[in-house]
């Protein structure tokens, strides 16, 4: 099968770029130093490549992601890095022999974990991003409360999400340090072997966390590309030019195939004007029937719109030569962790 045979819009992954990203990260953060976040790709086949690269623990954002990873045989060491008030489905996974550690940041979530049959928790600590996470000074009290309910407190987590996207490396590093100082204070009070944090933007600076929760590095997006990281854009939305005019052309991908919270996607050598539900208008004009590669601004909500990833050999070489349709489709992976 060739790229030209794919219907559009489709998600396509350049094999070489993807493999480079996996190797680059596993060299920087070998084995358990990385706990890949599956929310970025929602694909157990992709997670399997991360497992084969030496990372046997995974981070999940939803119950469904935990269930899907367990069903795929990748449930030996999962962290649900999110608060949950109905933990019964997680309790069932634990009963079946999978390991799922759950984040807690309040009395309510501690009680929900115990009530739902969860055995292990991390105390989620606010390290500066106004989202989940308890006050660092409240972490010890929550840990005690969890232990009194019979839960094993495995440590702490804290996500410096407010700094992972800063484009100046020194500012990211400084912000990461400030956040991790808060997390280390909580870690000392809480105890336990795990200090979990970090992301693709701070993986190289975050030497405090025992494990880094990066996910976007595997496929990348144009927001992370601005940071000058050693990862390559691996995923693209393949689209067909369906209309062309004097000054602009229209491709058949739009708001339902692209996460838009970080703004418009990009096309190399073109100027993206705007997206509609099933259209992307860009300049200059291009002949009808041409195939274009569109780079998403934010990988996570883009992947969540699609049900499969096509792995393509020499996709970018072909694109550079304007013959993207000739590149070979090597494999197709289901994006099987969608939903909740």
Is 127 a binder of a copy of itself (CB under 8 A)?
no
Q: How many residues bind a copy of itself (CB under 8 A)?
A: 53
Task: Give the nearest distance from C-beta 228 to a copy of itself in angstroms.
Answer: 23
Determine the 3-state secondary structure of 221 from DSSP: coil
Is 255 a binder of a copy of itself (CB under 8 A)?
yes
Q: Which stretch binds a copy of itself (CB under 8 A): 21-29, 147-155, 225-233, 244-252?
A: 244-252
- Out of 275, 311, 316, 335, point to the residue binding a copy of itself (CB under 8 A): 275
Contacts to a copy of itself from residues 72-111, by CB under 8 A: 82-86, 105-106, 108-109
Cβ(126)–Cβ(98) below 8 Å: no
**Residue 160 parent element (H or E):** none
Task: Give the nearest distance from C-beta 103 to a copy of itself in angstroms.
Answer: 10
Q: Calculate helix-pair angle for 63-71, 44-52, nearest 10 degrees.
A: 70
Dihedral angle over CA of 331, 336, 338, 339, nearest 10 = 160
Structure tokens at 170: 């020194």
Determine the 3-state secondary structure of 21 from DSSP: helix
Cβ(296)–Cβ(282) below 8 Å: no
Is 339 a binder of a copy of itself (CB under 8 A)?
yes
Closest CA to 44 of 28, 64, 27: 64
Q: Which is nearer to a copy of itself, 35 or 39 (CB)?
A: 39
Is 248 a binder of a copy of itself (CB under 8 A)?
yes
Is 300 a binder of a copy of itself (CB under 8 A)?
yes
Is 132 a binder of a copy of itself (CB under 8 A)?
yes
Q: Which stretch binds a copy of itself (CB under 8 A): 141-149, 200-208, 304-312, 318-326?
A: 304-312
Is 161 a binder of a copy of itself (CB under 8 A)?
yes
Closest CA to 17 of 327, 262, 250: 327
Contacts to a copy of itself from residues 39-78, by CB under 8 A: 39, 61-62
Task: Give the nearest distance from C-beta 297 to a copy of itself in angstroms.
Answer: 11
Task: Give the nearest distance from C-beta 51 to a copy of itself in angstroms.
Answer: 22
Cβ(337)–Cβ(42) below 8 Å: yes
Contacts of residue 266, Cβ cutoff 8 Å, sequence gap at least 6: 222, 272, 294, 295, 297
The secondary structure of 162-207 as a DSSP string is: TTTT-SSHHHHHHHHHHHHHHHHHHHHHH-SSEEEE--TTTTTT--
Is 330 a binder of a copy of itself (CB under 8 A)?
no
Is 226 a binder of a copy of itself (CB under 8 A)?
no
Task: Give the nearest distance from C-beta 172 to a copy of itself in angstroms.
Answer: 18
Q: Which is nearer to a copy of itself, 268 or 276 (CB)?
A: 276
Cβ(50)–Cβ(218) below 8 Å: yes
The burial class, CB within 10 Å (0-12 / 13-18 / 19+), for 72 is middle
Is 244 a binder of a copy of itself (CB under 8 A)?
yes
Q: Which stretch binds a copy of itself (CB under 8 A): 93-101, 186-194, 294-302, 309-317?
A: 294-302
Paired sense of beta strands 328-334 and 308-313, if any: antiparallel
Contacting residues toward a copy of itself, per CB under 8 A: 7-9, 39, 61-62, 82-86, 105-106, 108-109, 126, 130-133, 135, 161, 240, 242-245, 247-248, 250, 252, 255-256, 259-261, 273, 275-279, 281, 288-289, 298, 300-301, 304-305, 307, 339-340
């Amino acid at each position: 099968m060739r790229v030209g045979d794919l219907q559009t819009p489709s998600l396509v992954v350049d094999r070489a770029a993807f493999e480079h990203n996996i190797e680059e990260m596993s060299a920087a953060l070998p084995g358990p130093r990385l706990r890949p976040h599956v929310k970025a790709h929602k694909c157990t086949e992709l997670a399997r490549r991360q497992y084969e690269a030496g990372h046997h623990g995974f981070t999940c954002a939803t119950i469904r992601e935990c269930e899907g990873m367990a069903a795929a045989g990748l449930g030996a060491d999962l962290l649900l890095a999110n608060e949950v008030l109905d933990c019964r489905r997680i309790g069932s996974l634990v009963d079946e022999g999978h390991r799922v550690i759950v984040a807690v940041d309040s009395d309510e979530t501690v009680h929900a974990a115990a009530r739902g049959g969860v055995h292990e928790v991390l105390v989620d600590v606010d390290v500066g991003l106004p989202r989940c996470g308890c006050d660092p000074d409240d972490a010890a009290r929550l840990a005690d409360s969890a232990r009194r309910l019979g839960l094993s407190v495995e440590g702490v987590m804290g996500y410096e999400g407010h700094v992972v996207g800063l484009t100046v490396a020194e500012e990211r590093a400084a912000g990461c340090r400030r956040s991790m100082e808060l997390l280390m204070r909580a870690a000392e009070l809480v105890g336990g072997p795990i200090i979990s944090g970090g992301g693709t933007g701070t993986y190289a600076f975050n030497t405090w966390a025992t494990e880094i929760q990066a996910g976007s590095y595997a496929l990348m997006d144009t927001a992370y590309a601005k940071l000058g990281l050693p990862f390559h854009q691996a995923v693209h939305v393949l689209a067909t030019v369906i209309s062309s005019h004097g000054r602009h052309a229209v491709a058949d991908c739009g708001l339902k195939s692209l996460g838009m919270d970080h703004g418009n996607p990009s096309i190399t050598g073109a100027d993206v004007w705007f997206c509609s539900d099933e259209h992307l208008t860009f300049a200059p004009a291009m002949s009808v029937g041409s195939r274009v590669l569109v780079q998403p601004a934010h990988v996570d909500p883009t992947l969540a719109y699609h049900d499969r990833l096509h792995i393509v050999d020499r996709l970018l070489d072909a694109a550079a030569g304007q013959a993207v349709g000739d590149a070979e489709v090597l494999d197709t992976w289901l994006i099987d962790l969608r939903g909740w």
